[in-house]
Amino acid sequence: MKYLLALVAGALVPLSLAPFGWWPAGIVGAGLWFHLLQRFPGNGGLLGWLFGVGKYAVGASWVYVSIHVYGNAPEALAGALVVLFVAGLSLFSLLNGLVFDRLRTGFIISDALTFACLFVIFEWLLTWVLTGFPWLYPAYGHLHTPLAGFAPVGGVLLISLALSLSACFLVAAIRSRRRGWPVLLAIVPWIVGAALWEVDWVASGGERRAALVQGNIDQAEKWLPQNRGRIIDTYVGLSAPHWGVDALVWPEAAITLWAHEAQPLLEEFRRRGQDSGTALVLGLPAVERLPHGETVFRNTAIALGNGDGRYIKRRLVPFGEYVPLEDALRGLIEFFDLPMSRAEPGDWRQPLLRLGTDLAAMAICYEIVYPDLVRAQPAVPDVLLTLSNDSWFGTSIGPLQHLQMAQMRALENGRWLLRSTNNGVTAIVDHHGRVTQRLAQFEAGVLVGDYRIMEGVTPYTRFGNLPVLALLALGLGFGVWRRFGVKLRGDHRG
């Protein structure tokens, strides 16, 4: 039964996120996992792995769509690859459980602090180990609860710490004979979060107008050479009435011509933008020859007209934009041999794009899920931009999860965010992480709306994860001290 409950605990986490939005499920899932680890010592590894399997099997089910529907892999092969994907990611929670087993004391309050710190540490590891996969954090379900107040202070990880502490102390309250202190400790994060929400970290500046274009190009047709002209005509036609806005934004790889082939077209767009006072931002692939002679592909975004600059995607999607173990996997299925699956990343620090007199920080597609990548810019941006092609997800839950993570980046940094996608979800998000306007999925259209330039920076923008990591080190240090430095009396155990 305990192993089944570990699977259920993990499966509850994605139910707290978009599109379901049952945010208490994430708290219950984390609390149930803590209860199982605390009650069944010596089982931490297996309980942790099963928690991860439940979480990723339910929450990352869209991987199957990408591999089978758009990678044209047979059902059996696609299923096997998804099983490997889920099993591999679950190793992080397996290690989490093993470490907790080593540090647990049996004293429930001490174990609650240790569990919460480990929970967040392993989320942090998922932002960078082996390029990372920072997806399915239960904190994303709290964009509209009092815990959202922690985001501008310490980012999504600080919300995770508050959430996991609250979950663990609720478990402590249920199990302890003296419930007053655990209940109070469970409530404190919500009170502090609500107080922080009332703080104005940034101030509103000037108002701008944007037009975000959603072409709704089928992924199966997008890269076919015979469709290049039709795709360009689609974007040009949708954009025609909107020259004159401050920012006209097309999605990732809106043009499927290589950048050097598209120069006459780009020059025409540049002139039109200059004449109308519009900054056009669009995504397109590029091929470049490096100084030593090697040819590489780039996933880029450029600003034209009343704007300027070029951005090269920094964080590439494994198997989508580069293929690990390339010699073994290249050619196995079409998904591993797509036109952009040989891309090279850009420099980590790149100049911001200029839109008129404003500076815009860019994140292409998957990059928006990396908090520190969006935060760490060479200058303070006035607005955040993200271009995406979420048609890889099909009709799955993936695009809505992706939008929710983009909303968190806006909240963390106190900036409005413009999100243009191929087939949804195209949206304008305010500096509180709220969607002010959006287009329906799977429809061609243009989202026209206002956004604001913000002044000042949030503590998270200034300091990043350092304060949270310091808190985690202190909390985990206390747990280690309790485990190895203090001999607990039996009557203190929960």
CATH number at residue 411: 3.60.110.10
Question: At 46, is the secondary structure helix, strand, or coil?
Answer: helix
Within this chain, do residues 192 and 212 fall inside the same structural domain, yes or no? no
Q: Which residues contact 178 (CB under 8 A, 6 or more apart)?
A: none
Within this chain, do residues 486 and 383 fall inside the same structural domain, yes or no? no
Domain that residue 58 falls in = 2-199+463-492
Measured between alpha carbons, how far is 359 from 179 in angstroms, rounded to an integer?
52
Within this chain, do residues 189 and 234 fall inside the same structural domain, yes or no? no
**What residues of the chain score a pLDDT lower than 70?**
319, 323-341, 486-494
Could you give the residue numbers annotated as active site? 252, 313, 365
- Report pTM: 0.94
Closest listed residue to residue 101, CA positions, set 148, 49, 58: 49
| End-to-end alpha carbon distance in the chain | 22
Task: Sheet containing 307-308: give its strands across.
Answer: 307-308, 353-355, 358-364, 383-388, 417-421, 427-429, 435-438
Within this chain, do residues 235 and 105 fall inside the same structural domain, yes or no? no
pLDDT confidence of residue 184: 93
Within this chain, do residues 16 and 73 fall inside the same structural domain, yes or no? yes
Within this chain, do residues 167 and 264 fall inside the same structural domain, yes or no? no
Number of domains in the chain: 2
Within this chain, do residues 330 and 277 fall inside the same structural domain, yes or no? yes
Count other Cβ atoms within 10 Å, centred on residue 191: 12
Within this chain, do residues 427 and 281 fall inside the same structural domain, yes or no? yes
Q: At what angle do helices 180-197 and 151-175 cross, to 10 degrees?
A: 160
Token pair 């690859």 in the structure block, residue? 81
Within this chain, do residues 228 and 193 fall inside the same structural domain, yes or no? no
Within this chain, do residues 26 and 148 fall inside the same structural domain, yes or no? yes
Within this chain, do residues 99 and 193 fall inside the same structural domain, yes or no? yes
Within this chain, do residues 172 and 133 fall inside the same structural domain, yes or no? yes
Query: Following DSSP, what letter does each residue of 198-239 receive, concatenated?
Result: T---SEEEEEEEEEEEE----HHHHT-GGGHHHHHHHHHHHH
